[in-house]
């Protein structure tokens, strides 16, 4: 069984929900990103160009500090679940920063990334943009009301491009558009079986209900 599992995917796809469910299933520790702690995030959704760099740098440094704490844990003693991959920061930076900001960001990122422990397994959750938008509106977080379909489509494309080329760890790609692993036990059980069967390389899981 994998000892350090990371769940990734665009906003609204269910990363945190799945991390909590798997942590309960595996009796694992659960490390969650606290996006709401970023004071620039509400401003970013109001004016992305103006506040993108501050937002990204805050996330980068905050995630680094949290990842350093993970590196100090005994990962062999207990399974660890995390609802983000440290590299995700670069996905957002690539679509939100201008060339000068991105060049500076990349210098800082590479200095920090060298100190991060990689996961044993990454689970990449996908969903159609209209599904994500519906889920985002359903959870009714005030600053997320400024998120539009165009931004989601750009974000999904950036995620798909990144993980199409990803080969650093075993990768399970899951289409979540037609399933509800939070409220439907059979959906969660399907996903659980796939995780337990995972080995090396990249696996694609299209749940039965979405076929």
| Residues tagged active-site | 83
164, 115 in Cβ contact below 8 A? no
Structure tokens at 192: 């659980």
| Rounded Cα gap, residues 128 and 177, in angstroms | 6
SS3 126: strand
61, 54 in Cβ contact below 8 A? no
Structure tokens at 194: 């796939």
Q: How many CB atoms lie within 10 A of CB 148?
A: 12
Structure tokens at 84: 């983000």
6, 82 in Cβ contact below 8 A? yes
Structure tokens at 39: 């004071």
Structure tokens at 160: 């798909």
């Amino acid at each position: 069984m994998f000892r350090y599992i990371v769940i990734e995917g665009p906003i609204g796809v269910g990363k945190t929900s799945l991390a909590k469910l798997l942590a309960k299933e595996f009796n694992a520790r659960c490390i969650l990103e606290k996006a709401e702690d970023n004071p620039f995030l509400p401003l970013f959704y109001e004016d992305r160009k103006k506040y993108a760099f501050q937002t990204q740098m805050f996330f980068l440094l905050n995630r680094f500090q949290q990842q350093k704490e993970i590196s100090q844990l005994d990962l062999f003693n207990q399974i660890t679940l995390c609802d983000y991959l440290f590299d995700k920061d670069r996905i957002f930076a690539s679509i939100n920063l201008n060339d000068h900001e991105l060049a500076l960001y990349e210098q800082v990122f590479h200095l920090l990334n060298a100190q991060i422990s990689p996961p044993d397994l990454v689970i990449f959750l996908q969903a159609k943009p209209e599904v994500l938008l519906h889920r985002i509106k359903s959870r009714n977080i005030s600053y997320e009301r400024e998120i539009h379909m165009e931004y989601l489509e750009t974000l999904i494309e950036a995620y798909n491009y990144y993980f199409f080329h990803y080969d650093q760890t075993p990768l399970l790609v899951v289409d979540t558009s037609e399933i509800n692993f939070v409220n439907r036990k059979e959906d969660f059980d399907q996903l659980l079986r796939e995780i337990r069967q995972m080995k090396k390389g990249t696996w694609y899981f299209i749940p039965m209900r979405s076929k």
